[in-house]
Amino acid sequence: MTNLKAACDAVLKGVCAGNPRVPGVVAMLTDREGDIYSGAAGERRLGGAPMTEDTVFAIFSTTKAIAGTTALQCVEEGLLDLDAPAAEYAPAIGKLQVIEGFEADGTPRLRAPKSQVTTRQLLLHTGGFGYDFFSETYKRLAEEHGQPSVVTASRACIETPLLFDPGTRWEYGTNIDWVGQVVEGIRGQSLGAVMRSRIFDPLGMDEIAFTRSDAMKTRTAIIHARGADGGLTPMDDFFLPDNPEVEMGGHGLYATVPEYMKFIRMWLNDGAGPRGRVLKPETVAWAVQNGLQAHQKVGMLPGVIPALSNDAEFFPGLKKGWSYTFMTNEEEAPTGRPAGSIGWAGLANSYYWIDRKTGIGGYWATQILPFGDPVSFPGYLAFEGAAYRAMAAMKAA
């Protein structure tokens, strides 16, 4: 493991020492048994406390797979029909209309959807929802009609028009926030309470929550804004809300990286955790498969709000799919990640992957906006590639 540590340490130190740089990073690797690499470099805030393994991050969309897991548990128990209207479990979704454009005076042009949204479509991001930082239509609704940002974690921020009829195409958006509403409707509990009893406790995940404890607050990394000149500005007052109006299944959790590694290990171990089973092996087997139809394509995410996201895409030119609820790479990635692996990312430039074939997974955590950061994103890919090369060298030795 010496070569693995040296290779990964070099990547972390390099992204924190360069110009431009990242403020700080925590990155970890695990196999099916436990963590095989843990590293931290840089600072939680430029000029501040050093980054450490127990630093707390706003994990943004790496929340999605956890919310998706709570829905899969409902399916296992016969409580959720993925192909029934999601409004049977979350009635508010049934009131939403499709936006077809804007009238000459700027009024949104709305109509009823041709079919009702299902939970399967929500899990696969084919339900019709988007994000304002990836959708010109939602951006205009925000600017001209006061549609709140998802970072407000308000009910109004998810009760938005659909961008297209359900099932028509793939578009990344607030679908998984609605999955959380479905789960709350089924369980009669808050999403956080469901996650705690049914995922976090069986996996021994303690420091992960929608609302931070006082101890977590003292170790929370600051999000930094990347300027056009490559410089970084700490966003000292920008945090996801504690005690939110809606516990957002799409992006609302805070966590340390070691806690997320326990969730990754559950998927490597066919749903089993140290304190109990989270999913059945047969559920895991189908949940990691690409669920999209041929006309539904996962492609580049167009950054329409430059402060929040650049144009971003994993492995351009490679076929990608979406499962329940992860991106799947349908071909081997340049990093060495095999075809059939799963993974995703969070808005503030956190990234993870789960390779069930090889039996490893990793997580890379930084706190930088916009998404697709030109230092952090390549750093993550270098980290993943270094891990595969080091392990291949150990196997050959």
Place of tokens 């000459």: 104
- Per annotation, catalytic residue among 37, 131, 138, 172: 172
Per DSSP, the residues of 115-128 read S--BHHHHHHT-SS
Say how far apart CA 192 and CA 208 lie, in whole Å: 10
List CB contacts of 88: < 8 A, sequence separation 6 or more. Answer: 81
Residue 372, number of CB atoms within 10 A of its CB? 20
Establish whether 61 is a catalytic residue.
yes
Of 34, 31, 26, residue with least CA distance to 8: 26
Q: What order do you get walking across the sheet with 232-234 strand by strand? A: 232-234, 224-226, 368-369
Pair 288, 326: CB distance under 8 Å = yes
- Per annotation, catalytic residue among 37, 61, 135, 351: 61
- Per annotation, catalytic residue among 37, 64, 309, 351: 64
Establish whether 139 is a catalytic residue.
no
Establish whether 115 is a catalytic residue.
no
Say how far apart CA 176 and CA 54 lie, in whole Å: 27
Say how far apart CA 113 and CA 92 lie, in whole Å: 14
Four-CA torsion 266, 268, 269, 274, nearest 10 degrees = -40
Which stretches of 95-205 are DSSP H helices?
A: 119-124, 136-145, 175-187, 191-195, 201-203
Tabulate helix, strand, coil % of the chain (nearest 5): 35, 20, 45
Provide the phi-psi class of 138: left if phi over 0, else alpha when psi is between -120 and 50, else beta. Answer: alpha
Q: Catalytic positions, please?
A: 61, 64, 172
